[in-house]
Amino acid sequence: MTATPASTAPAPARPDTERAGLEAALRETVQRQLHPHLRHIAHYHLGWADAEGRPTGTRGGKLLRPTLALLSARAAGGTVADGLPAAVAIELVHNFSLLHDDIMDGDTTRRGRPTAWTVFGVPHTILAGDAMAAAATSALLDAPLPGARPAATRLTTATQRMISGQSADVAFERRDDVTLPECVRMAGDKTGALLGCACSLGAALVGAAPARVERLAAFGEHIGLAFQLVDDLLGIWGDPDRTGKQVGADLRVRKKSLPVVAALNAPGSDELRALYLRSAPLTEPEVRRVADLVERAGGRDWARTEADRRITAARECLDGAGIADAPREEFLELARFVVGRRF
């Protein structure tokens, strides 16, 4: 499952009018671009409608990535309206990946509801994902702004990296020799690339200088990695009340998460390897033993240190992007929301 912040609250700090404008733009693009059958699936998946197509009356998802995209447009001197095509595009790509990931992973629930493929079948859900990906590119290319072409290039490059990361993740499940650099790279591709794109796409669209765009992208990519590390730590030692996950949840499914891979590659990991890489399920005492072995092998410390390092690096990138204090503070607030701790 693609990682997202554990909180289901909307992204903070933005006025309701901005969120309303974002949802309206997203709906308009889906309406204009998608075939009615696929639109129905998109409405369901985005939380706007139930399986029969009736409006749910509830708000959609967190809209974290599009909020970052709008902020990056404003940070580069553009208006909210200028940034909307970037915001729509990034949210469509994110949701295209969720639709396909749920099929690939065989996941049956998302955001507390049955996943789209379980409701509409695999064929139409593959197509709905394909249609959202194409609509994302169109949204950018149709924008009447000189940065549309470089922005579309950034989005497509980030999409390709996200797909590469997902491919590596699927392949890791069957491998016993995943190295830590490989695993970091996978997380950077799968989670970091799209978050980096979200933080820079609006700026690229309004024609910001390439150096500023790159700094914003690097900021978002470091935040994405820090988020993944924190999420992986919570997946082993987290508070179930806060995360909605059982303690040890990731260990029970033998996820090759970052702290685990760090530990598997540390000296003296023979007992851990023997337990974690065998095919028989782990008993509950074994799950606790694995958590202990990962910690003893330094996996927990490594992940905490690496998360801190990424957060420091993100701050440095943001400071180097040369943006005004107000949008800088908003980026930091969103980063705190993503990483889930003081930033």
Q: Which residues bind a second copy (CB under 8 A)?
A: 33-35, 37-38, 100, 103-105, 122-124, 126-127, 129-131, 133-135, 137-138, 141-142, 148-149, 152-153, 156-157, 159-160, 163-164, 166-168, 170-171
Nearer to a second copy, 35 or 242 (CB): 35
| 256 half-sphere exposure, CB direction, 13 A CA radius | 25
Instruction: Give least dist CB 188 to a second copy, A.
Output: 13
In terms of CB distance, is 31 or 305 closer to a second copy?
A: 31
Least distance (Å) from a second copy to the CB of residue 96?
Answer: 8
115 contact partners, CB below 8 Å, separation of at least 6? 102, 107, 108, 109
Q: How far is the CB of 137 from a second copy (least distance, A)?
A: 5
Tokens coding 119: 């409701």
Q: Which is nearer to a second copy, 188 or 298 (CB)?
A: 188
Min dist CB 304 to a second copy, Å, is 29
Shorter beta-carbon distance to a second copy: residue 72 or 138: 138
In whole angstroms, give the CA distance from residue 183 to residue 294. 16
* DSSP label at residue 10: P
Per-residue buried b or exposed e for 270-301, using 16+ beta carbons within 10 Å of the residue's own CB: eebeebbeeeeebeeebbebbbebbeebbbbe
Selection from 37, 144, 150, 27 nearest residue 95 by Cα: 27
Pick 173 or 239: Cβ nearer a second copy: 173
Q: How far is the CB of 94 from a second copy (least distance, A)?
A: 13
* Nearest CB to a second copy, comparing residues 253 and 274: 253
Nearer to a second copy, 133 or 226 (CB): 133
Q: Which residues contact 200 (CB under 8 A, 6 or more apart)?
A: 72, 154, 213, 214, 216, 217, 220
CB 289 within 8 A of CB 275: yes
Least distance (Å) between residue 217 CB and a second copy? 17
Instruction: State both tokens at 52.
Output: 């029969």
Give the contacts of 31 (CB within 8 A, at least 6 positions apart).
Answer: 39
Q: What is the smallest separation between the CB atom of 206 and a second copy, expressed in angstroms?
A: 16
Is the CB of residue 167 less than 8 Å from the CB of residue 185?
no
Q: Which letter does DSSP use for residue 189 in this model?
A: I
Residue 11: DSSP 8-state: P
